[in-house]
């Protein structure tokens, strides 16, 4: 069973609201990575272009006002930013588009060395050009193993002061990175891998809660499948909770994620218009304390 309810359409507003800096967003959003390929954003066969555009428009129709993307989300035939521009421009008031900088890929899709601080402006401008905007709502510095980020974050802070970027965040970061970044400029969110059976991000989840910073987990549904999507046999505990609510396992995983704190924002991605509605509907699913305890007891990394 894939659908939480067949009697009504659930809006993203049912998930609640969080403010990214001064930008209010519903706690369930949309991640654009999977629009560019069926298996991963740099592999596989891209889904039909019209279908991808329909997915984005459907998400916004359902109240999604937080979309996560990046210029390095592209495949042989698709660019996530270009799809967003085509589907949603001119952008409606209240739509927040978050992007990422740091990693670099060449035209063939091969990964190159991460950007130096002096190259980050070019990456920001690339996102601006592809999205057709004069400023970016939120830019996350995606870390690729570096110990210190002060110089990189300082370069982004300069772009924020220049008006090209409104708010800053981090991705793939540790608590010590958050402290370094906050010494340079305000941080409104942290994006890390986190989910029901992938909880290595617990320390950052708690740190963000204490500081009033949004925690934005990725791969909440996919888990170990990461870019390739959910590839596991689903756990019996998840299926039991799903049956009790007439929901899907994916919806239960999203509901559990949102239950970890009011500061948690989910950004599930899909290339299927029907799955967009299912994912958004998960924002209206409320798990009981007993169900949360059952799911919390699942072994995890």
Write the CA distances from 67 to 104, 165, 276, integer angstroms: 21, 16, 13
CATH code where residue 289 lies = 3.20.20.100
- Asked if the structure places residue 301 within a domain, the reply is no
pTM of the predicted model, to two decimals?
Answer: 0.92
**Structural domain span for residue 105:** 12-296
Instruction: Give the pLDDT score at 47.
Output: 66
Among residues of the chain, what percentage have pLDDT more than 90?
76
Instruction: Give the pLDDT score at 134.
Output: 96
- Asked if the structure places residue 145 within a domain, the reply is yes
Task: Show the low-confidence residues of the chain (pLDDT under 70).
Answer: 1-8, 38-47, 222-232, 301
Instruction: Give the pLDDT score at 43.
Output: 52
- Asked if the structure places residue 7 within a domain, the reply is no
Instruction: Give the pLDDT score at 2.
Output: 42
Instruction: Give the pLDDT score at 240.
Output: 97
Interior/surface letters 154-191, b for 16+ CB within 10 angstroms, e for the rest: ebbbebbeeebbbbbbbbbbbeebbebbeebbebbbbb
The number of distinct structural domains making up the chain is: 1
- Asked if the structure places residue 1 within a domain, the reply is no
Residues taking part in catalysis: 73
- Asked if the structure places residue 4 within a domain, the reply is no
Q: What is the dihedral of CA 267, 208, 185, 158, to 10 degrees?
A: -20
- Asked if the structure places residue 3 within a domain, the reply is no
Instruction: Give the pLDDT score at 228.
Output: 45
């Amino acid at each position: 069973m894939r659908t939480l309810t067949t009697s009504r359409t659930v809006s993203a507003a049912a998930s609640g609201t969080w403010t990214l800096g001064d930008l209010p967003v519903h706690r369930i959003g949309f991640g654009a990575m999977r629009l560019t390929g069926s298996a991963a954003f740099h592999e596989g066969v891209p889904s039909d272009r019209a279908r991808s555009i329909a997915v984005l428009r459907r998400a916004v129709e359902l109240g999604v006002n937080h979309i996560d993307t990046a210029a390095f989300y592209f495949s042989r035939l698709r660019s996530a930013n270009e799809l967003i521009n085509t589907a949603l421009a001119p952008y409606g008031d209240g739509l927040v588009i978050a992007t990422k900088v740091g990693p670099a890929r060449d035209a063939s899709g091969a990964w190159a060395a991460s950007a130096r601080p002096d190259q980050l402006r070019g990456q920001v401008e690339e996102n601006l050009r592809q999205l057709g905007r004069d400023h970016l709502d939120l830019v996350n510095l995606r870390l690729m193993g570096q110990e210190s980020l002060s110089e990189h974050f300082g370069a982004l802070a300069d772009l924020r002061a220049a008006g090209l970027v409104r708010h800053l965040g981090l991705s793939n970061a540790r608590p010590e990175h958050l402290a370094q970044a906050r010494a340079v400029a305000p941080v409104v969110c942290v994006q890390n891998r986190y989910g029901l059976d992938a909880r290595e991000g617990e320390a950052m989840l708690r740190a963000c809660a204490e500081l009033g910073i949004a925690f934005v987990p990725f791969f909440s549904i996919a888990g170990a499948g990461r870019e390739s999507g959910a590839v596991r046999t689903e756990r019996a505990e998840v299926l039991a909770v799903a049956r009790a609510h007439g929901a899907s396992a994916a919806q239960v995983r999203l509901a559990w994620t949102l239950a970890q704190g009011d500061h948690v924002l989910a950004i599930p991605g899909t290339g299927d218009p029907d799955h967009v509605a299912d994912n958004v509907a998960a924002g209206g699913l409320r798990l009981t304390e007993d169900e949360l305890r059952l799911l919390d007891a699942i072994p995890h990394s």
